[in-house]
Structure 1
Amino acid sequence: MQYRNLGSSDLKASVVGMGAWAIGGGASWGSKVDDEEAIRTIETAVDSGINFFDTAPAYGWGHSERLLGRAIQGRRDQVILATKCGLWWDDDRGSFFADFEGRPLYRSLRPDTLAIEIERSLQNLNTEYIDLYQVHWPAVEPEQTPIADTMEALLKLVEAGKVRAIGVCNVSEEELQQYLACGAIVSDQFRYSMLYRSPEKDILPRCQQQGLATLTYMSLEQGLLTGKVTAETVFEQGDLRTHAGWNPWYLLANRTRVIDLLQAWKPLCDEYNCNLAQLVLGWTLAQDAVTHVLAGARRPDQIRQNAAAGDLSLSAEIIERMNQDLTDLGEPNPDP
């Protein structure tokens, strides 16, 4: 496993981290997850060299955080814990975000809700401090807390020893610059994959210029790029992958194109003694300015495979070949 610092911090994180969205459970996460197996998966991740875990209160309404907190007891000094703030459901403070799993979610980066969130996450994770505390989504109208006010509240948490470093997620390039102007942040987390490359136009080069760690999520496109999703795969009712607006690559005609591409890459897997998921993660880590990839897992065998990608080094010729194949693949048809 390779390890890299999170930006300017002294937090040395595995280049492949475990994203803990899926273990939150619920229909939108794909299927119910067995808690004991999720805990074994986290323990296996640590044993396999992964020391970086990313979660959020909204993943299962705190369930993901609580599972992670249980799994790392006795090993807290071996892991880097990242969680988030800014999605709120206690009341209607903030700006309405979405109805999710039967509850209204609000974007709230107000100092008063942040003060509640940090204590709740510390309790859920059963820890005295959080290594990386991230703004989950930027604030929006009508209740758009000024970034300076949010950063002031977060910096106070650093001063109090409750947070070691601050990061942001899902921000525009302009919002990123505003956060940087208000205080030290070390990372930016955003969606990025070989099927979703728009961050290459702005966010990735800006992070590289500013010396920020980049934490990519959905780099396996929720399983589509693992080779395990087929044309016959049927998703459970409520699964986000059934909504074309969420990810048009899952529409059958588009999905088939991706499956054909992955099939053509099977000889590359043989050459590098890896599976398709590892090949895709290796490609992602090889891209300019990408420092860390967050990959979800539900079972110990999955996290072992993800961890092995942290050692994979693809040649420039293979990267060039894969890039050409991706160019030939083109964009998804929104209405095939």
Structure 2
Amino acid sequence: METRKIPGTDLNLSVIAFGSYASGKGWAPSERKSAIEAIRASYQLGVTTFDTAPIYGLGDTEAILGEALSCFPRDKVQILTKFGLRWLYVRGRPFRTVVSFDGKDVNIYRYATRESVIEECENSLRRLKTDYIDLYQLHWPDEATPFEETFEAVSRLVEQGKVRYVGVSNVTPEQMDEIGKIVPVVSLQMPYNMVERGIEKDVMKYCIDSNRAILAYRPLEAGLLTGKIRPDATWPRNDSRNTNPYFTPDNIRRVNAFLEQLRPLASEKKATLAQLALRWTANRSGITSVLAGAVNSLEAVENARAAEISLSRRDMDFINGTLLKLDTEMINEALRKTRVRLAALS
């Protein structure tokens, strides 16, 4: 497995990392077993980087990861987790509502006070069955708490040896500059994939210029880039795909048509469309590691083997040229809908 170093650290991340968001839905015993098998299968194929968060599974996902990794040497894996989203207290700014394993609505809050950060870290260490976290990342900014308070607490955790390095997620370059004045920030985690490329506008250049790693999450856009999503698909209550603009029937058709144009290249590489999408993401400038989720060992093996695919410059140019046509179609459709709405208001 190819590894890439986070600049300014001794962390060498596997280019395909295990992203555990998909493992956080609340588990029956059989599903928990599958999740553990997926994590262990990833490790056996060279994946050494495992990303999670307390909010995934409302704590259960960290516990699953801790159990799964407990049989491997601690110094052979990098455990990444996050802080700043709480559900135990009605404090901070409302973030979103999720459905717990027993079907109840649970309200999530952005909350990153000094005391909360310290408490979250202790909880994560316990669930993960470890005494240190390799990369501790702010999940989402808490606008009600000054960065100075939040990251002074994180600095204390670094001094105590409970956290090795500090990262952030879902923040702007300006916010990274502000946080960087308090504590060294080595990485930024953001959504990035073939259809969600917003960070190309400014974030990628910023991270390259400031020598910071980019960890790409949602590389398959919640399954859209597998080619297996039908235009008539429906989702469970509170599933983010219900409001995701990429998951309208028209856009699903467009993306599927785009993927069909890539299928001959995938066949040539003896790869699935999902593997091609993961490898494309890993090849993009500034990307250090791609966080790919799996709910069973078959998916985990497929993801890990995406690292074995080789895409030439010509291959990348072909994919990028095909993507440009998809971008144009989506932009034109968005403009058409805007004109229709404006006409209805006039």
Q: Shift in Å at residue 299 of structure 1?
A: 1.0
Distance 2:46 2:89 in 1: 40
- Structure 1 residue 301 corresponds to structure 2 residue 298: yes
- Aligned equivalent of 1:87: 85
On the 8 A contact 1:158/1:165 being kept in 2, the answer is yes
- Aligned equivalent of 2:154: 154
What is the one-letter code of the residue matched to 1:104? Answer: N
What is the one-letter code of the residue matched to 2:118? Answer: A
Q: Shift in Å at residue 26 of structure 1?
A: 4.7
Consecutive unaligned residues of structure 1, counting only runs of 5 or more, are none
Q: Shift in Å at residue 33 of structure 1?
A: 7.6
- Aligned equivalent of 1:107: 110
C-alpha distance after superposition, 1:13-57 (max 9, x if no partner)? 101101101111159xxx998000100000101001101010000
- Decide which structure has the larger Cα Rg and report it: 2
What is the one-letter code of the residue matched to 2:77? Answer: V
C-alpha distance after superposition, 1:202-261 (max 9, x if no partner)? 1111111111111011110011101222334443344322x23xx211111110011111
- Aligned equivalent of 1:131: 134
Distance 1:125 1:70 in 2: 7
C-alpha distance after superposition, 1:272-323 (max 9, x if no partner)? 1211111111111111111111010011111111111122221111111111
Aligned residues: 327
Distance 1:35 1:253 in 2: 35
- Structure 1 residue 69 corresponds to structure 2 residue 72: no
TM-score, normalised to structure 2, is 0.90
1:1-336 paired onto structure 2 within 5 Å: 1-26=1-26, 34-75=31-72, 76-101=74-99, 102-140=105-143, 143=144, 145-241=145-241, 243-244=242-243, 247-330=244-327, 331=330, 333=333
What is the one-letter code of the residue matched to 2:83? Answer: C
Q: Shift in Å at residue 183 of structure 1?
A: 1.9
Structure 1 runs (4+) deviating above 6 angstroms are none
Distance 1:118 1:284 in 2: 31
More helix by share: 2
On the 8 A contact 1:25/1:32 being kept in 2, the answer is no
What is the one-letter code of the residue matched to 1:173? Answer: P
What is the one-letter code of the residue matched to 2:63? Answer: R
On the 8 A contact 1:23/1:33 being kept in 2, the answer is no
Distance 2:271 2:318 in 1: 17
Distance 1:6 1:68 in 2: 22
What is the one-letter code of the residue matched to 2:249? Answer: L
Distance 1:229 1:38 in 2: 22
Distance 2:29 2:7 in 1: 35
Distance 1:82 1:125 in 2: 10
TM-score, normalised to structure 1, is 0.93
Segment of structure 1 superposing worse, 215-224 or 94-103: 94-103
Segment of structure 1 superposing worse, 313-322 or 118-127: 313-322
- Aligned equivalent of 2:343: none
On the 8 A contact 2:13/2:288 being kept in 1, the answer is no
On the 8 A contact 2:135/2:167 being kept in 1, the answer is yes
Distance 1:311 1:212 in 2: 25
Consecutive unaligned residues of structure 2, counting only runs of 5 or more, are 100-104, 341-346
What is the one-letter code of the residue matched to 1:227? Answer: G
On the 8 A contact 1:192/1:217 being kept in 2, the answer is yes
What is the one-letter code of the residue matched to 1:99? Answer: T
What is the one-letter code of the residue matched to 1:40? Answer: E
Q: Percent of pairs identical after alignment?
A: 38
Distance 1:137 1:7 in 2: 23
C-alpha distance after superposition, 1:128-152 (max 9, x if no partner)? 1111110000112xx2x22122221
